[in-house]
């Protein structure tokens, strides 16, 4: 009976990195796929006629938008599990910035997805009025601002705060913190050069999650051996 708390703590430590890895991989795959489909289906130049791509690629864009809520759920789980892993060693300042930037990133991509879905719905109901009254031009400008200006910046802040938490607590090797800083800098200053830069964020989450999963698989046999 005396060893029960120790066993429960060990199992919790084993489950937490694995849960973070699974959630992070799901987010990276879903959100990355959504971004790729959108980049391939929607022309980067806002002056290109919207009626062309909405008629030809409307179903693909709808599929991409439908992936966003599920990727958001996985990302929310990723945030929660990361905070649980940090535990009592979490710095309040950077922990607040980490949580706040993550939630803001989620809110912004949800808003951008809802606006894009509304634009497609308006076009399907009355395509002529959607194009003539400036609805298309305004919606595209707002979606671009929300997703690529504000959302991507929040993703960069999320990475910087998490990298700082890793650096201060020692929960991850310092090399991961420096890599995170460099990747975040790319997001903060380079997204205006190419919209494909936004893929850096899901790639980073995927890489970190795979690392968590590998570490968990390595530690699992050792923990089982110590229990026996």
Which residues 6+ apart lie within 8 Å of 156 measured at CB?
184, 185, 187, 188
Sign of CA dihedral 154, 156, 158, 164: negative
* Structural domain boundaries in the chain: 4-227
Per DSSP, the residues of 148-183 read IIIIHHHHHHHHHHHHHHHHHH-SS-HHHHHHHHHH
pLDDT at position 52: 73
| Residue 141: half-sphere exposure toward Cβ, Cα within 13 Å | 6
User: Buried b / exposed e across 36-68, counting CB within 10 Å, b at 16+?
Assistant: ebbbebbeeeeeeebeeebeebeeebbebbebb
Of 170, 210, 184, 199, residue with least CA distance to 20: 210
Q: Whats the size of the chain, residue-wise?
A: 228
pTM for this entry: 0.82
pLDDT at position 48: 64
pLDDT at position 73: 94
Of 186, 181, 180, residue with least CA distance to 204: 180
pLDDT at position 133: 72
Calpha distance 136→63 (Å, rounded): 20
Tens-digit pLDDT string for the chain (228 aa) = 444 444 444 444 445 567 778 889 999 999 999 999 988 888 776 666 666 778 777 889 899 999 999 999 999 988 887 877 776 666 677 888 989 999 999 999 999 999 999 888 888 888 777 777 777 888 888 888 898 889 999 999 999 998 888 888 777 788 888 999 999 998 888 766 677 888 999 999 999 888 888 877 776 555 444 444
Q: What is the DSSP letter of 49?
A: -
């Amino acid at each position: 009976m005396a060893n029960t708390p120790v066993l429960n703590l060990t199992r919790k430590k084993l489950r937490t990195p694995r849960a973070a890895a699974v959630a992070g991989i799901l987010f990276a795959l879903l959100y990355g796929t959504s971004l790729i489909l959108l980049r391939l289906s929607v022309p980067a130049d806002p002056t290109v006629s919207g009626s062309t791509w909405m008629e030809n690629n409307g179903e693909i864009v709808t599929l991409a938008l439908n992936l966003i809520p599920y990727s958001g759920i996985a990302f929310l789980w990723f945030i929660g599990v990361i905070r649980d892993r940090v535990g009592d060693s979490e710095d309040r300042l950077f922990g607040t910035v980490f949580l706040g930037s993550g939630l803001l990133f989620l809110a912004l991509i949800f808003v951008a997805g809802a606006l894009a879905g509304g634009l497609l719905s308006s076009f399907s109901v009355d395509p002529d009025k959607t194009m003539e009254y400036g609805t298309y031009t305004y919606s595209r400008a707002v979606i671009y601002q929300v997703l690529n200006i504000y959302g991507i910046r929040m993703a960069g802040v999320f990475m910087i705060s998490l990298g700082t938490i890793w650096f201060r607590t020692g929960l991850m090797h310092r090399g991961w913190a420096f890599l995170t800083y460099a990747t975040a800098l790319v997001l903060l200053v380079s997204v205006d050069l190419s919209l494909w830069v936004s893929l850096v964020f899901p790639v980073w989450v995927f890489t970190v999650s795979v690392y968590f999963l590998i570490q968990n698989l390595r530690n699992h046999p050792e923990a089982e051996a110590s229990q026996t």
